[in-house]
């Protein structure tokens, strides 16, 4: 980009909400233990289903390893220390402290950082990094359902190898059902998530513990010496193995993103008190099983070590339990894509999309049809193209490690710019995580030719769309403000030049200055003004939730003209009629039956001197044409809306 448009987009979104007027939502009620249990069902599904394929892929993936004790101990040691450093320390301990009014995730972190260093020389770079991390999440949200469900259904081949031909059809049916289910909401299904995941984690921990008892020498892997020795023995393969080992920590960024639903304390309790021990017991159990078996049997077991942990008569129930767990994990990722998209819309990086709320009590439970069906098509294509979870594992990881590496860079900015650490304190901490995360990302670059290109392409396309919309939106607003007539001058000149009619007219405006084009067109063509004319701007703050007492702001311009602003957080639903009910001082109450809403619909015209590349201008024009109408986005009554067109050059 040629300027700081993206940063200015975020700053304009948060201009009215940069104070500490937000408050934590989603975890203000209920006990810590109850919230911790809820988090097990909703948040930890992604990382919780990694044992189905992570350990296996290090030995049978694109760069297979020898099935000897040194390599097994080395891989298990790497998994243990990766989970400790990346998940437990970097995300759960450090980054969860960096909440934006209770909310986490790359966009929330960027909003927090930009509020402190937004005006600095390099503030725009932090914003772009956060946007790119968000873009990579979309690639991850496509691969996660495909690899998770496929890896679980592939357990049927362990039960009976003749079922191999049914794996893809069953996986596709489950995935399609999962996406169709989204429009009904997850409230009722979500009630079953926690019990199922608790049973799942307990079972995999028990299976792993039994194998550890049989072969306790696997516990030597707790010593980082074995991870280091792995690199000494076989440096190149050890480095490439990182590309598979990192699959054990996929979902770590999602833990941070979902912090707002349950709170920092309950999620830490869930992770350290239950989920992490269960996962480590299973990974160590898989390693113990492999080194405890004769070489011929170990070679068979490593093809699906997760399911071979169970006795033969228990493998089919384990397949069903694992399938239910992957179904839940996929559900969480899809819901995360909806949440991230909603945040990006509110922050001005994505055009308005049709958003449906699926719960009357939980504002965070939303459904975005366009995102849902796009993800479904992508997942179906992935399953049909890659055919099995091992092939998909080659495409998996690069998006996750890219996002984690970006979060590490943002963490450096957080330390210096927000928390005001001394450089000599921040540098060693950042260096450790940058070396670890950077090594994982570099190892995953080796997967680009084997499928890793897919999430990178998705990320680059998403990044281009997000930044193009932010840039074009800013240019369009700038052009409109250049020709905007000051409202005070217009009010004085219009009061005697137009006939006043009963009722209220609300003109939606993107800016809090000037006269909206819809008002100019209305008086030009209809030559009338309502008794009460309100210029209404909806302002999205860079905090998740705005204090309801600070929702409304208004200014009396005289002669029946008012300028009003409704403030919302980037996690809130922009319900304008509901907001107007609380704005009684703005010339009296608003009666929807006598109120008309006037909207402007801009059409782009080719410019002789375009301020952005022609190809990006065409993309922006396409996004503008296909965005949802303000009527749907702001929940305006359909029979009270008048839309007037205008033309603008950028």
**457 strand-pairing partners:** none
pLDDT on residue 4: 44
The answer to whether 33 touches 269, Cβ cutoff 8 Å, is yes
- The CA distance from 408 to 95, in Å, is 9
pLDDT on residue 375: 93
pLDDT under 70 in the chain at which residues? 1-30, 118-120, 185-191, 358-365, 482-484, 495-496, 584-587, 606-608, 646-650
Rg of the chain (C-alpha set): 27
pLDDT on residue 463: 92
End-to-end alpha-carbon separation of the chain, Å?
15
Residue whose tokens read 């000599």:
424
For each of the domains in the chain, give its residue range(s) and CATH number, in order of start: 5-9+32-352+384-471 (1.20.1740.10), 485-649 (no CATH)
pLDDT on residue 643: 82
The answer to whether 598 touches 642, Cβ cutoff 8 Å, is yes
- The CA distance from 342 to 350, in Å, is 9
DSSP string, 274-299: IIHHHHHHHHHHHHHHHHHS-HHHHH
The answer to whether 143 touches 50, Cβ cutoff 8 Å, is no
**596 strand-pairing partners:** 505
């Amino acid at each position: 980009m040629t300027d700081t448009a993206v940063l200015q987009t975020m700053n304009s979104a948060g201009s009215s909400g940069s104070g500490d007027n937000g408050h934590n939502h989603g975890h203000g009620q209920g006990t810590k233990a109850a919230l911790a249990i809820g988090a097990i069902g909703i948040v930890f599904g992604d990382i919780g289903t990694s044992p189905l394929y992570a350990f296996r892929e290090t030995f049978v993936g694109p760069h297979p390893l020898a099935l000897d004790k040194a390599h097994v101990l080395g891989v298990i040691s790497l998994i243990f220390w990766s989970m400790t450093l990346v998940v437990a320390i970097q995300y759960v301990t450090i980054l969860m402290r960096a909440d934006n009014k209770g909310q986490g995730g790359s966009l929330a972190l960027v909003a927090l950082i930009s509020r402190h260093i937004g005006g600095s020389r390099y503030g725009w770079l932090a914003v772009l990094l956060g946007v790119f991390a968000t873009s990579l999440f979309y690639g991850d949200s496509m691969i996660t359902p495909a690899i998770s469900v496929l890896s679980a259904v592939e357990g049927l081949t362990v039960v009976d190898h003749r079922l191999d031909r049914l794996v893809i059809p069953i996986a596709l049916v489950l995935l399609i059902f999962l996406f169709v289910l989204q429009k009904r909401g997850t409230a009722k299904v979500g009630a079953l998530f926690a019990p199922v995941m608790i049973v799942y984690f307990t079972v995999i921990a028990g299976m792993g513990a039994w194998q550890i008892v049989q072969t306790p020498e696997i516990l030597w892997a707790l010593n980082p010496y074995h991870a280091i020795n792995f690199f000494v023995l076989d440096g190149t393969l050890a480095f490439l193995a990182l590309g598979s080992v990192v699959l054990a920590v996929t979902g770590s960024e999602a833990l941070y993103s979902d912090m707002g639903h349950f709170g920092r304390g309950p999620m830490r309790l869930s992770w350290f008190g239950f989920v992490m021990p269960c996962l480590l017991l299973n990974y160590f159990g898989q390693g113990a099983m492999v080194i405890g078996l004769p070489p011929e049997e170990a070679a068979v077991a490593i093809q699906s070590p997760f399911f071979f942990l169970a006795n033969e008569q228990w493998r089919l129930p384990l397949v069903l339990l694992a399938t239910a767990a992957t179904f839940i994990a996929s559900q969480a990722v899809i819901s995360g894509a909806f949440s991230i998209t909603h945040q990006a819309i509110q922050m001005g990086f994505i055009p308005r999309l049709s958003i449906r709320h699926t719960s009357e009590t939980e504002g965070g439970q939303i459904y975005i049809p366009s995102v849902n069906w796009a993800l479904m098509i992508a997942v179906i294509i992935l399953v049909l193209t890659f055919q099995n979870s091992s092939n998909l594992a080659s495409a998996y990881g690069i998006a996750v490690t890219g996002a984690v590496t970006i979060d590490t860079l943002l963490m450096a900015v957080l330390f210096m710019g927000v928390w005001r650490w001394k450089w000599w304190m921040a540098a060693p901490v950042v260096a450790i995580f940058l070396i670890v995360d950077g090594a994982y990302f570099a190892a995953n670059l080796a997967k680009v030719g084997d499928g890793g290109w897919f999430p990178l392409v998705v990320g680059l396309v998403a990044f281009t769309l997000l930044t193009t919309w932010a840039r074009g939106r800013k240019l369009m607003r700038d052009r409109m403000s250049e020709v905007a007539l000051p409202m005070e001058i217009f009010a004085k000149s219009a009061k005697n030049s137009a006939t006043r009619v009963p009722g209220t007219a609300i003109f939606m405006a993107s800016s809090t200055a000037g006269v909206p084009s819809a008002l100019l067109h209305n008086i030009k063509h209809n030559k009338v003004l309502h008794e009460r004319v309100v210029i209404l701007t909806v302002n999205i703050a860079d905090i998740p939730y705005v204090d309801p007492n600070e929702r409304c702001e208004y200014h009396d311009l005289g002669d029946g003209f008012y300028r009003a602003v409704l403030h919302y957080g980037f996690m809130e639903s922009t319900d304008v009629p509901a907001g107007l009910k609380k704005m009684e001082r703005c010339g009296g109450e608003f009666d929807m039956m006598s109120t008309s809403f006037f909207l402007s619909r801009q059409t782009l015209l080719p410019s002789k001197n375009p301020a952005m590349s022609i190809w990006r201008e065409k993309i922006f024009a396409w996004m503008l044409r296909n965005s949802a109408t303000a009527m749907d986005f702001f929940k305006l009554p359909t029979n009270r809306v008048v839309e007037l067109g205008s033309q603008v050059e950028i």
